[in-house]
Each structure stands twice: as structure tokens, then as C-alpha cells.
Amino acid sequence: MSDLLHVTSSPHVRGKDDTQRIMLYVIISLLPATVFGIWNFGVHALILIIATIASCVLSEYIYERLLHKKSTIRDLSAVVTGLLLALNFPSTIPVWMAVLGGMFAIIVVKMLFGGLGQNFMNPALGARCFLVISFTGYMTDFSGYKDYVDIFASATPLQTIKAGGSVDVMRMIIGTTPGTIGETSAICLLIGAIFLILMGVIDLRIPGTYILTFAIFALLFGGHGMDFRYLVAEICGGGLLIGAFFMATDYVTSPITPSGKIVYGIILGLLTGIFRIFGASAEGVSYAIVFSNLLVPLIERWTVPRAFGITRPKKGGEAS
């Protein structure tokens, strides 16, 4: 049935962008953070990136061959999943764990639910949460960072803040800090985000609302008052920027209605703030996005625009 041509009545809106082109844009947008991550963490980071992408592509190819389905690896969605997942890894994890994560992302989160367009959560984040729960020690070990300057050298900036230490905000903006491979450089991530916005792949509704909501929450409940250095550190640290611009905006798992995107962004900001500030962990973006993905059908149900001439049903009456 999926190969049949479905014809609908006019008017028809045509666009030049297909799935492959959009995924290519995403890959290009992630290159600055990827290259910087390899420079920042060394050769093992490159090996993890290659292994994770290969695991995702091969898992999708083999799964579809075994089930006699049309191969979809040319749409590059598996490459994007592998790259995003790898950029969310510490550079210290073993290669077999990266391969396992890629297999889980594609087979369990994506293909078992019908493939691209049918998965109910972001595959890369679903796999990351699976690995964090299963191998917490490995996934929270940031000792692979090469610049040991103080007692917090093996901790991320957010872990340092939560422990009562101080951080160098400028180093966080540049990216020369411990963290996952792709999350450390705010500059590189913002360059990629600007590229996606200019190419029309994403708009600012979701990431803008997400970051703004989190910023207000952090100022109100972070315990640092109106300390804007703390606020910049919270925004630049952890996976907030890569999550807001590259994963929360995933077409499949985010709302398509304009008001739904705003509601979605607010929920993301609130959950991230709660997890970071009141939770045991210094991070919270991955779980915030995964939980919010589950709410998308409900968000879209209540934010779908009313058709012209249709009113909502009244109590005891019918819609007109």
C-alpha cells in the first residue's frame, strides 16, 4: 500500500525539498559541531561517529532486506540519526556501545514502529536514554577531555555549577570544555542552526519558545537571582542548544500546528528546568524531549486550526 500513488483534489502545493535534501541540510548544519568535537576530544570521537553512523545505516538496510521491504537508506535519515546520536556520546565510551546505540535507535525506536514518519519519539534521543539507563557509568564519564585545569576537569560545566563551582562562560561559548562530543561549542551549534533557518528547514517557534521558557524558569528557580552569567552558562551548557535546534524540531516527533509548536516549546522549557534544577542530574534535555514527544498527539489535537465556517460544539448542541 505504501507504494501506491494517492491522488487528491487540487490545489496541489509542490516543494523542491524532499526527505533526502532536508536530511542533507541537517548533516551540513552539524558539520561545524562535529569537526570541533573531533578536534576537542581526539581520534576516538571520530571513531565513535563513524561507528554509530555505520551501525544505523547497516541496521536499517539489513532490517529492510530481511523483511523484503524497499530500502530507504538513501534518504539519509539513518545517517542523521547516527550523527546526532554520536554527538550525544561522551568521547570515552567503547565502540561496541556506540554500535548498540545505533541498532537500538533504528530497529527499536524507528523501524519497529513503521520506519521514518511513524516513530513516536526521536530515535537518537530514545537510544541515548536507553544507554544512559543501561550504562550510566560510561555515559556520564567525561574524563576523556584533554585539558585538565582544575578539580572539575572531568565534569561538565553544568555538573560543576550544580556542585557549587564556577565556570568560564567564554570557554563554554567557544566549546573547550568537557561534555558530549557535539554539545560543547555554542558557536558551532548556532552556526548550524542559522544555516537550517536560512534554508527553511526549521523556524524559531520551537527552539525560541523552548530556550526562552527555560531561561525564565532558570532565573526564577535557579537560586542565582538575575545572574546572567549563570543563565548564559545554563543555556550554552549541556545539550540545550543541540536539543532545541536539532532534535526538538524533528518533523516526525514535533507538532505541525503553529500554536502547537509554541505549546510544545513551553513544555520542553519547563521540563528541562525541572529536571536540571530540581532533579539529581545536571542535565535534562534528552528526557524533556522524549517526554514531550509523547505529548505531541494531544498537543496537536487541541491546537489544530478550526476549519472555516466550523464552530466548536456547545454543551447540549451541535457544531455548525
Total H helices, total E strands in the chain: 14, 0
**Which CATH topology does 20-302 take?**
Ammonium transporter fold (1.10.3430)
Name the band, by pLDDT with cuts 50, 70 and 90, for residue 13: very low
Supply the pLDDT for residue 157: 81
Higher pLDDT, 224 or 217: 217
pTM for this entry = 0.87
Candidate from 30-34, 217-221, 227-231, 246-250 with smallest mean pLDDT = 227-231
Inter-axis angle of helices 186-198 and 19-41, to 10 degrees? 170
Report the distance separating Cα 240 and Cα 185, nearest Å: 11
Higher pLDDT, 312 or 71: 71
- What would the pLDDT profile of 19-67 be if each residue is shown by its tens digit? 899 999 999 999 999 999 999 999 999 999 999 999 999 999 999 999 9
Report the distance separating Cα 106 and Cα 80, nearest Å: 11
Contact between 291 and 236 under an 8 Å Cβ cutoff? The reply is no
Contact between 44 and 86 under an 8 Å Cβ cutoff? The reply is no
What integer is the mean pLDDT of 257-273?
95
- In the chain, the percentage of residues whose pLDDT exceeds 70 is 86
Q: What is the C-alpha end-to-end distance of the chain, expressed in Å?
A: 36
Name the band, by pLDDT with cuts 50, 70 and 90, for residue 5: very low
Name the band, by pLDDT with cuts 50, 70 and 90, for residue 249: very high
Mean pLDDT for all residues in the chain: 87
- What would the pLDDT profile of 106-129 be if each residue is shown by its tens digit? 999 999 988 888 888 999 999 999
Q: Please report the sign of the dihedral spanned by the C-alpha atoms of residue 268, residue 273, residue 278, residue 284.
A: positive
For residue 289, the tally of other CB atoms under 10 A from its CB is 30
Name the band, by pLDDT with cuts 50, 70 and 90, for residue 18: confident
- What would the pLDDT profile of 275-300 be if each residue is shown by its tens digit? 999 987 768 899 999 999 999 999 98
Q: Which amino acid is at 83?
A: L
Q: Where are the domains of the chain?
A: 20-302
Can you read off the three cell numbers belonging to residue 123?
A: 530515535
